[in-house]
């Protein structure tokens, strides 16, 4: 087994490649702000800054019953949402699997499947008896028709609340004959082919949905952000800043509009993002090399794969293996074989039930210290034994193949990758705070133009919900960029059922305009 200075140098080198200094975080924020500006003025920029045509955020008094369909995550969901008008709602939902064959086959087959799923939902969940709009005649143009909001979490060029062209696929989708078509029409055509009384009236991105639903339940919100399979954010912008709207009537009306940033595409050229060989390996084998550079360092779909690449480099290290005695398992050998949820499990095992309030810090390891199990602090030993149990269970190693040193190395690698993701996530949030006048760029001087006691941020996604310390580390990054005073006022809360409730709120806005 390799030990000594050479092995340590390899660990130190990997450790160094994943660090982000406060200066780098500020520099990345500057580059992020520049891309925001270009995207707000230009329709062909990777940071798409898509106008949503949602011109206000709810305040919790909205009412109505709507269907919502959510496509873009790991599962497809159909739900019925009842908005009660007192910041609360009820929701009934059913999840449906979207197979790889559907994701990558013909678009019409995919949309037929979506329509079939809605049909199946309506059969198994007869409509709730609450009237749409609770007696508001404008919200009920045709009582026989069920109104549906579509949450579609891919880049779309939106032209109205209820229409938008698909720009590109992300997150493992690549269905043929979809790009360039109106996604609402693709879905409506599928409903019509089946003679269903369902009308899709609103198209909403999951980030916009998170923003709207958090605003509904919390009485206000400035940013909706997703940290799940992918990452993205939507925020409330002044229409005057969305210069690419040009002669669109929305531009003349002025006021505010929600913008879907598509920030997963930040710095696709990687001129600022410090890529490692592990990131490059992931990118090269992904279905969209050179795209979604930021997302590939942050989101659930990718963190496990980056970590797997780090672990494989240690397993394969020459002249002697540095991990698992050079042994791999089928899970570790397979692309995407190491899921981000396993990383969460490793961190939870390391922390234990009573140390949940750790700092999220990950010091440079001296792994030779772990070689003599007898000399280990019993508390550290207990933690490593828990990590070992996770590795044995999740990666299918035999217990005797995983030393406590191996457990320590995997925990360290996991935390390196996740910590970088959370720090980068903070950069995206900081960018929105500066862009909207709630913070100033470091060193620029001046004062923020807005000083609310609470800055609402609605979030969704397994990563921010479940990953230990993800939010703490995101906040650490925010403090570096916008300072502790602003960071303290940032109120991060789960946008509960954001895509369903957001789609319902958007459908309500749409039928009021019908
Ligand atoms: P989606 O974004 O697809 O709607 P999620 O927010 O659940 O759904 O995100 C799914 C992603 O989160 C997957 O990539 C998965 O690897 C990751 N994930 C699932 N559970 C956890 C967990 N406990 N901790 C961290 N990541 C998780």
Residue 463 C-alpha to ligand 1 middle, in angstroms?
6
Per-residue model confidence (pLDDT) at position 370? 82
Per-residue model confidence (pLDDT) at position 143? 67
The neighbour count for residue 462, using CB atoms within 10 Å, is 18
**Any ligand 1 atom below 6 A from CB of 340:** yes
* Mutation test residue for ligand 1: of 68, 70, 74, the one with most atoms within 8 Å of CB: 74
Residue 134 C-alpha to ligand 1 middle, in angstroms?
36
According to CATH, what is the number of the domain 4-16+282-419? 3.40.367.20
**Any ligand 1 atom below 6 A from CB of 261:** no
Residue 81 C-alpha to ligand 1 middle, in angstroms?
23
* Mutation test residue for ligand 1: of 297, 462, 503, the one with most atoms within 8 Å of CB: 462
CA 415/CA 428 separation, integer angstroms: 20
Residue closest by Cα to atom 18 of ligand 1: 341
Residue 341 C-alpha to ligand 1 middle, in angstroms?
7
Q: What ipTM was assigned to the predicted interfaces of this complex?
A: 0.97
**Angle subtended at Cα 194 by Cα 192 and Cα 197, rounded to the nearest 5 degrees:** 60
Distance spanning both ends of the chain, measured CA to CA: 71
| Tens digits of pLDDT across the chain (514 residues) | 455 668 889 999 999 999 999 999 999 999 999 999 999 999 989 999 999 999 989 999 999 999 999 998 678 999 999 999 999 999 999 999 999 999 999 999 999 999 999 999 999 988 775 544 444 434 455 668 999 999 998 888 888 999 999 999 988 899 999 999 999 999 999 999 999 999 999 999 999 999 999 999 998 999 999 999 999 999 999 999 999 999 999 999 999 999 999 999 999 999 999 999 999 999 999 988 999 999 999 999 999 999 999 999 999 998 889 999 999 999 999 999 999 999 999 999 999 865 555 555 676 677 777 888 888 889 889 999 999 999 999 999 999 999 999 999 999 999 999 999 999 999 999 999 999 999 999 999 899 999 999 999 999 999 999 999 999 999 999 999 999 999 999 999 999 888 899 999 999 999 987 6
**Any ligand 1 atom below 6 A from CB of 300:** yes
Per-residue model confidence (pLDDT) at position 4? 61
Best CA proximity match to 362, nearest among 340, 347, 345: 347
Structure tokens at 377: 């602090």
**Any ligand 1 atom below 6 A from CB of 468:** no
Helix, strand, coil abundance in the chain, percent, nearest 5: 50, 15, 35
Nearest ligand 1 atom to alpha carbon 460: 6
Per-residue model confidence (pLDDT) at position 137? 39
**Any ligand 1 atom below 6 A from CB of 461:** yes
**Any ligand 1 atom below 6 A from CB of 441:** no
Per-residue model confidence (pLDDT) at position 131? 47
**Angle subtended at Cα 339 by Cα 493 and Cα 405, rounded to the nearest 5 degrees:** 105
Residue 312 C-alpha to ligand 1 middle, in angstroms?
23
CA 205/CA 495 separation, integer angstroms: 14
Residue 503 C-alpha to ligand 1 middle, in angstroms?
21
Residue 74 C-alpha to ligand 1 middle, in angstroms?
8
Residue closest by Cα to atom 19 of ligand 1: 341
Nearest ligand 1 atom to alpha carbon 339: 16
Per-residue model confidence (pLDDT) at position 127? 75
Per-residue model confidence (pLDDT) at position 101? 94
What fold is seen in the domain 60-217+498-508? Nucleotidyltransferase; domain 5 (3.30.420)
Residue 277 C-alpha to ligand 1 middle, in angstroms?
24
CA 204/CA 70 separation, integer angstroms: 9
Burial 153-178 (b: 16+ CB within 10 A, else e): bbbbbbeebbbbbbbbbbbbbebeeb
> Which residue in this structure is represented by tokens 């496990």?
304
Per-residue model confidence (pLDDT) at position 375? 86
Residue 336 C-alpha to ligand 1 middle, in angstroms?
13
Residue 184 C-alpha to ligand 1 middle, in angstroms?
27
Pairing assessment for the beta strands 63-71 and 146-152 based on DSSP bridges: parallel
**Any ligand 1 atom below 6 A from CB of 466:** yes
18-67 pLDDT, tens per residue? 999 999 999 999 999 999 999 999 998 999 999 999 998 999 999 999 99
**Any ligand 1 atom below 6 A from CB of 463:** yes
**Any ligand 1 atom below 6 A from CB of 347:** no
Nearest ligand 1 atom to alpha carbon 230: 2
Residue 228 C-alpha to ligand 1 middle, in angstroms?
5
Helix (H, G, I), strand (E, B) or coil at 461: coil
- Listed by start position, the domains of the chain span 4-16+282-419, 60-217+498-508
């Amino acid at each position: 087994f390799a030990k000594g200075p050479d092995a340590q140098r390899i660990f130190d080198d990997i450790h160094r490649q994943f660090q982000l200094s406060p200066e780098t975080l500020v520099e990345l924020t500057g580059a992020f702000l520049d891309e925001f500006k270009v995207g707000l003025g230009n329709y062909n920029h990777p940071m798409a800054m898509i106008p949503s045509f949602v011109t206000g955020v709810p305040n919790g008094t909205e009412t109505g019953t709507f269907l919502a369909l959510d496509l873009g995550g790991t599962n497809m969901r159909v739900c019925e949402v009842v908005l009660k008008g007192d910041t609360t709602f009820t929701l009934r939902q059913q999840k449906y699997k979207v197979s790889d064959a559907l994701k990558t086959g013909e678009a019409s087959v995919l949309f037929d499947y979506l329509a079939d799923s809605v049909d199946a939902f309506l059969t198994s969940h007869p409509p709730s008896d609450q009237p749409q709009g609770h007696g508001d005649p404008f919200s009920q143009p045709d009582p026989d028709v069920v109104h549906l909001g579509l949450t579609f979490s891919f880049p779309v060029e939106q032209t109205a609340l209820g229409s938008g062209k698909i720009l590109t696929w992300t997150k493992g989708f690549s269905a043929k004959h979809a790009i360039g078509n109106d996604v609402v029409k693709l879905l409506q055509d599928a409903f019509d082919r089946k003679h269903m009384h369902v009308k899709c009236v609103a198209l909403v991105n999951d980030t916009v949905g998170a923003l709207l639903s958090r605003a509904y339940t919390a009485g206000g919100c400035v940013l909706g952000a997703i940290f799940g399979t992918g990452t993205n954010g939507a925020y409330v912008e002044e229409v005057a800043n969305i210069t690419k709207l040009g002669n669109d009537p929305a531009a003349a009306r002025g006021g505010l509009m929600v913008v879907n940033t598509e920030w997963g595409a930040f710095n696709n050229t990687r001129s600022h993002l410090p890529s490692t060989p592990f990131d490059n390996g992931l990118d090269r084998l992904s279905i969209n090399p050179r795209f979604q550079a930021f997302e590939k360092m942050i989101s659930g779909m990718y963190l496990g794969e980056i970590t797997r690449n780090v672990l494989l480099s240690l397993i394969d290290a020459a002249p002697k293996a540095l991990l698992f005695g050079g042994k791999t398992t089928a899970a570790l050998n397979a692309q995407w074989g190491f899921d981000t949820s396993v990383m969460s499990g490793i961190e939870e095992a390391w922390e234990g039930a009573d140390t949940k309030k750790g700092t999220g810090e990950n010091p440079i390891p001296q792994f030779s210290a772990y070689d003599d199990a007898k000399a280990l602090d019993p508390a550290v030993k207990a933690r490593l034994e828990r990590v070992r149990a996770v590795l044995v269970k999740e990666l299918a190693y035999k217990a005797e193949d995983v030393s406590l040193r191996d457990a320590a190395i995997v925990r360290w690698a996991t935390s390196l990758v996740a910590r970088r993701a959370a720090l980068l996530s903070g950069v995206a949030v900081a960018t929105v705070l500066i862009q909207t006048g709630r913070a100033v760029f470091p060193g620029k001087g001046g004062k923020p133009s807005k000083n609310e006691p609470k800055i609402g941020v609605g979030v969704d996604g397994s990563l921010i919900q479940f990953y230990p310390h993800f939010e703490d580390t995101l906040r650490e990054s925010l403090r570096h960029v916008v300072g502790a005073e602003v960071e303290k006022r940032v109120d991060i809360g789960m946008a509960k059922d954001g895509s369903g409730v957001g789609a319902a709120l958007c459908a309500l806005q749409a039928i009021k305009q019908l």
